[in-house]
Structure 1
Amino acid sequence: MLSIKNLTKTYKGGKKAVSNLNIEVESGDIYGFIGHNGAGKTTTIKAVVGIIDFEEGEIHINGISVKDDPLACKSCIAYIPDNPDLYEYLTGIQYLNFIADIFQISKSDREKRIKTYADAFEITSSLGDLISSYSHGMKQKLAIISALIHEPKLMILDEPFVGLDPKAALTLKNMMHDMCRKGNAIFFSTHVLDVAEKLCNKIAIIKNGELIASGDIQSLTKGESLESVFMEVVSNAETNSETDSSAAV
């Protein structure tokens, strides 16, 4: 579903945000992407969805290269950033219809899906209001509905639970499970390790742009908490880095 091979992204000044990253997300996966602030999570996600270019490596979505055919890739994915930038001069329903038009969703399908998702997130009564009047949580809910409206094969989310109340967060988790039971996949970043541990079947841990652990969550944790495993592998990566630096000197 999503294949990231040897991805490297270097910003101006020579800073490597991501270095030789390899991740495989398969159909049915809820794949958690975790790491400290500045570890390279958002850079990786932006490269996957085509927002930024990258110097080395390959990214394929559903077997299609994001560089060779970006429109075909974008047609089968949905992306929700950590701070959705919506058109605030539109009403909620106008925005959802705009997104449905882009993906050429029929009138009957869009009406049914909008009702289902808006009712689930309890914002149906606010769809006629301007987005500028929405709270951060309501904007997040609207962004989620807009992402689901074309039934994407792959959903990519950057800190999706930030700003959601507990009930909305549970609703999103249930929808994520439903998507993956249908053979779709989810790749998302999060700082909340408890969420990743309970929700994901696979995880990848990134530090300073490099992958330091990945795979099936049960195999990685081996009965320990994800938090303790995360702290251990990060600490080991720091120790190894310091050892390599000393050896180089």
Structure 2
Amino acid sequence: MAQASSPSAFRQLVRAGRFTAQTAGQCPGFTQGNLAIMPSAYADEFLRFARRNPKSCPVIGMSEPGDPSVPELGQDIDLRTDIPGYCVFRDGRMVEEVPHLRELWREDLVGFVIGCSLSFEEALLEGGVPVRHIEQGTTVPMYDTDRPNGAAGRFGGNGVVSMRPMSAAQAIRAIQITSRFPATHGAPVHFGDPAEIGIADIDRPDYGERAEIRPGEIPVFWACGVTPQQAIRSAGLPFAITHKPGHMLVTDVRNSHLAVL
């Protein structure tokens, strides 16, 4: 895959179809975002849902109806083209994956950019905490849970989590580090037995790819920005779009600017 020197240059690669992979490790130091796009008629309700689920859905940017730009995250951002993969939902069902939204964009669509846990991985690595899926060049494993989201109108469903295997000492350090980044999911929501949050088989993620859990390691789970996909399913929206799991919007916002301590 082609490499880029800046988030803007990276987005140009994506826009040109020259980068189509997952985005973990791309443009270190800059915030990545999940995406949820829907008709403006549902936007206020979804925003209430996000506010009731701040761990899973920390909104860091929002577009105006019909406008694919998000100036607060980057002056040249185009939500129609700048993510390496999109999922299209109709009547609450994911019906296709597409590389861009040029033909699907409508004048009533509103985009929400939601903080992503891939953004705090730079801080984990700097803190001496390894990140397995970056080591393996795979997409972070993500799982549906049995933990219900805080409902808002038609939006509900259960939460989704991402997982990174770590030793106990690394997990403690990871909690300390990621607590500084509430805009990108903050501290873990669970560690240890996956069955306690409704995950039957840790080796079979619902999204992404399996991560090796080595002897002496435990799975550590963070709230995940794929949660809006479950909310869209529960709402049965006639039309909606999200990012393809692991394929994020790379913004011009520095991770350090989102730290709270």
> Given the two structures, how large is their TM-score scaled by the length of structure 2?
0.22
Q: Which has the higher contact order (CA 8 A, sep 6+)?
A: 2
Larger radius of gyration: 1
Q: TM-score, normalised by structure 1?
A: 0.23
Quick check: which one's helix share is greater? 1
